[in-house]
């Protein structure tokens, strides 16, 4: 940018000299340059006024490998035209345009700048479309945005940076799990319940004789008046199937051994697939883990639910999960039991089944009889009486080991 203030005294001096020396061409020259600089500076000062930049997506959540088109809209909302406009939009490679050459490299290894050049008349709006592909699980932030413009003479430039943050969520890949057919078919077993946990008081299905243990509010007065003996309502049972998915984010037996990235991704895929199939089969599905989500250092817990919005929350949480372990899994699991509904079926997913975890599951088995352990260890862990064991061995590729 040319420092106009430093040129102004020189132009005034040339103008005065032209007047004193009676040199008209010098006066015209200084006046012309002064007017040119004034117009250019005014144009530059207001070049980015009332300029809007918007990203448009059909949806901002999807699964790995899913293609999508997005569009960028730039509008000049003022009467002053924009001779040139350069935009640099920070964009992660994992959710960037299909053609990676569209992104200019930056100091960040995982993100580049989407650079575009525009020339806009007054009150003009233009839109450009780009194909993109969701390439990797995660939650990604778009932005910030940098806009640069100037005067049509190329004398001045102005820059403005805006946050313009938007988030793209790439859900984990779902994989078929054969054992889920047996696990979610009847996680409570085949034996009859000793008592009904829930009953529907809205639609009685009949009446019976009064028993001493019956509550007073359950008396059916019209039937009592008709028979002359106390009658009570028979209420239909409500089946509430709750599935709690418990993921151990640790991939090694000790924290100082680091993490195994591919093993952790396999954990996420299996956990997401179990949660998805559970909701599809009509279960209320919850999720707990000793891991953490991005930009957080706390373990996460999602209470059971089965709505489509709840499923999106489950998958979104797993999409944002990191391999940062916040607490020992067995300790966090025992502490979370008080907030898990009684009678829930527990599915524990772990890639590192330690002795302390097995001890915790044994103690937990006394109070939670419906437990399934999904182990990703290379060798199958010892079987626990009363706990269903599903062994899905997974080994880290040789070139990925620490």
Integer-rounded Cα Rg, in Å, for the chain is: 34
The Cα–Cα gap between 157 and 44 comes to 6
Q: How high is the pLDDT of residue 18?
A: 75
The model's pTM is: 0.80
Cβ atoms of 349 and 377 closer than 8 Å: no
255-264: long-range pairs with CB below 8 Å, 24+: 255/325, 257/402, 258/402, 259/323, 260/351, 260/396, 260/400, 260/401, 261/323, 261/400, 262/394, 262/396, 262/397, 262/400, 263/351, 263/376, 263/394, 263/396, 264/323, 264/351
Residue-wise pLDDT tens digits, 327-380: 999 999 999 988 888 778 999 999 999 999 999 999 998 888 889 999 999 999
User: What distance separates the 2 farthest-apart alpha carbons in the chain?
Assistant: 128
Q: How high is the pLDDT of residue 2?
A: 53
Cβ atoms of 176 and 192 closer than 8 Å: no
Instruction: Check pLDDT > 90 for residue 173.
Output: yes
328-331: long-range pairs with CB below 8 Å, 24+: 328/290, 328/356, 329/248, 329/249, 329/250, 329/290, 329/357, 330/354, 330/356, 330/357, 330/359, 330/360
Instruction: Check pLDDT > 70 for residue 314.
Output: yes
């Amino acid at each position: 940018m040319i420092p106009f203030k430093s040129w102004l005294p020189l132009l005034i001096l040339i103008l005065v000299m032209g007047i004193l020396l009676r040199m008209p061409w010098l006066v015209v020259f200084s006046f012309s340059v002064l007017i040119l600089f004034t117009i250019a500076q005014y144009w530059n000062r207001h070049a980015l006024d009332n300029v809007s930049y918007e990203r448009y997506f059909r949806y901002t959540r999807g699964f790995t490998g899913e293609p999508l088109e997005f569009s960028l809209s730039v509008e000049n909302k003022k009467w002053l035209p924009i001779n040139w406009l350069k935009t640099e939009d920070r964009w992660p490679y994992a959710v960037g345009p299909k053609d990676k050459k569209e992104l200019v490299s930056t100091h960040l290894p995982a993100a580049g700048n989407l650079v575009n050049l525009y020339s806009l008349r007054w009150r003009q709006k233009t839109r450009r479309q780009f194909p993109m592909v969701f390439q990797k699980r995660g939650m990604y932030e778009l932005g910030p945005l940098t806009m640069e413009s100037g005067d049509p003479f190329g004398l001045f430039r102005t820059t403005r940076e805006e946050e313009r943050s938007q988030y793209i969520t790439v859900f984990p890949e779902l994989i078929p799990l054969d054992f889920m057919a047996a696990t979610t078919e009847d996680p409570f077993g085949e034996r009859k319940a000793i008592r009904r946990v829930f009953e529907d008081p809205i639609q009685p299905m009949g009446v019976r004789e009064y028993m001493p243990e019956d509550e007073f509010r359950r008396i059916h007065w019209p039937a009592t008046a008709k028979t002359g003996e106390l009658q009570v309502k028979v209420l239909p049972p409500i089946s509430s199937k709750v599935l709690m998915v418990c993921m151990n984010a640790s991939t090694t037996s000790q924290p100082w051994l680091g993490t195994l990235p591919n093993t952790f991704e396999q954990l996420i895929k299996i956990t997401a697939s179990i949660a998805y199939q559970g909701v599809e089969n009509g279960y209320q599905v919850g999720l707990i883990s000793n891991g953490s989500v991005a930009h957080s250092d706390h373990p996460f817990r999602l209470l059971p639910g089965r709505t489509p919005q709840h499923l999106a929350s489950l998958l979104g949480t797993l999409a944002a999960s990191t391999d940062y372990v916040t607490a020992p899994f067995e300790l966090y699991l025992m502490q979370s039991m008080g907030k898990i509904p009684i009678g829930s079926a527990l599915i524990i997913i772990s890639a590192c089944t330690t002795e302390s975890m097995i001890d915790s599951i044994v103690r937990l088995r006394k109070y939670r009889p419906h437990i399934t352990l999904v182990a990703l260890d290379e060798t199958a862990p010892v079987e626990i009486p009363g706990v269903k064991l599903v062994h899905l061995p997974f080994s880290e590729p040789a070139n990925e080991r620490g």
